[in-house]
Amino acid sequence: MLQSVWGSLQNFDDFSGRATRYEFWWFFVLFVLVLGLVEFIHPVLMSMVAIVLLLPFLAVSTRRLRDAGQSPWWQLMMLVPFGILLVMYYWAMPRPEEPPTTEQPSNQ
């Protein structure tokens, strides 16, 4: 669990590739818990922590949407009321099955 969260924090600038559901949801849970605890301590401090964690969150969310076969641009739906519900649905989607290739390997 902590390894996937730490990996997401280390790859804060990686908007390419994919993120598994496991990696994303553990990061999301820790993200929400940290913001909730810091909000309880001091609201201004919570704003600063949210700003620091925003880039890693957007990066892992982009990779998760890509892994689910969706466009990362769907994140913009979080800016409209109830749009987060659609984005959360996409975050929860499994990776689409890869179509089997019919090409024969070359023997050369």
Kindly report, residue by residue over 88-102, the tens digit of the pLDDT: 999 998 888 766 556
Whole-number Å distance between alpha carbons of 91 and 95:
10
In a domain? residue 70: yes
In a domain? residue 101: no
Its pTM stands at: 0.77
Burial class (CB within 10 angstroms; exposed 0-12, middle 13-18, buried 19+) of 7:
middle
In a domain? residue 106: no
Whole-number Å distance between alpha carbons of 41 and 79:
27
How many folded domains does the chain comprise? 1
Q: What is the pLDDT of residue 102?
A: 61
In a domain? residue 82: yes
User: Which domain range does residue 81 map to?
Assistant: 2-92
In a domain? residue 107: no
Q: What is the pLDDT of residue 87?
A: 93
In a domain? residue 77: yes
Q: What six digits make up the tokens of 88?
A: 């959360």
Q: What is the mean pLDDT of the chain?
A: 85
The CA-atom distances, in angstroms, between 101 and each of 95, 98, 104 are 17, 9, 8
Measure the N-to-C terminal CA separation of the chain; round to a whole number of Å: 44
pLDDT reading at 82 higher than 90: yes
Q: How confident is the model at residue 43 (pLDDT cuts 50, 70, 90)?
A: confident
In a domain? residue 47: yes
In a domain? residue 41: yes
